[in-house]
């Protein structure tokens, strides 16, 4: 699973990778995810030290739009307020049952 096998490969220009680290001599440590050409269902991950000109950081990676709408998230503050009001109502009801407000 964790074996190191030397591979010769060419990554086309624009291939996305993850910059894991930088060294003081200007080289970068990159991790590139590729598809195995013999077994397309299997993914390969290449991790290595490359010259600094090989990779450039980008501000944001473009993401394909989804046809599934995202669930609207309820603000946590609203849930907390509703829970607090419900607890106050329950406490007032219990107090009225036991005759605390006579």
Mean pLDDT by 10 residues, the chain (102 residues): 64 78 89 76 80 80 67 76 93 83 56
Write out the chain in H/E/C secondary structure: CCCCCCCCCCCCCCCCCEEEEECCCCCEEEEEEEECCCCCCCEEEEEEEECHHHCCCCCCCCCCCCCCCCCCCCCHHHHHHHHHHHHHHHHHHHHHHCCCCC
**What is the residue extent of each domain of the chain?**
12-57, 73-102
The pLDDT of residue 88 is: 94
Predicted TM-score (pTM) of this structure:
0.44
């Amino acid at each position: 699973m964790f074996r190191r096998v030397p591979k010769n490969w060419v990554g086309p220009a624009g291939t996305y990778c993850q910059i894991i680290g930088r060294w003081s001599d200007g080289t970068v440590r990159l991790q590139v995810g590729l598809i195995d050409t013999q077994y397309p269902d299997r993914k390969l991950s290449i991790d290595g030290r490359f010259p600094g000109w090989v990779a450039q950081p980008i501000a944001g990676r473009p993401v394909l739009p989804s046809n599934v709408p995202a669930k609207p998230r309820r603000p946590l503050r609203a849930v907390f307020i509703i829970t607090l009001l419900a607890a106050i109502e329950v406490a007032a009801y219990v107090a009225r049952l036991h005759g605390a407000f006579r």
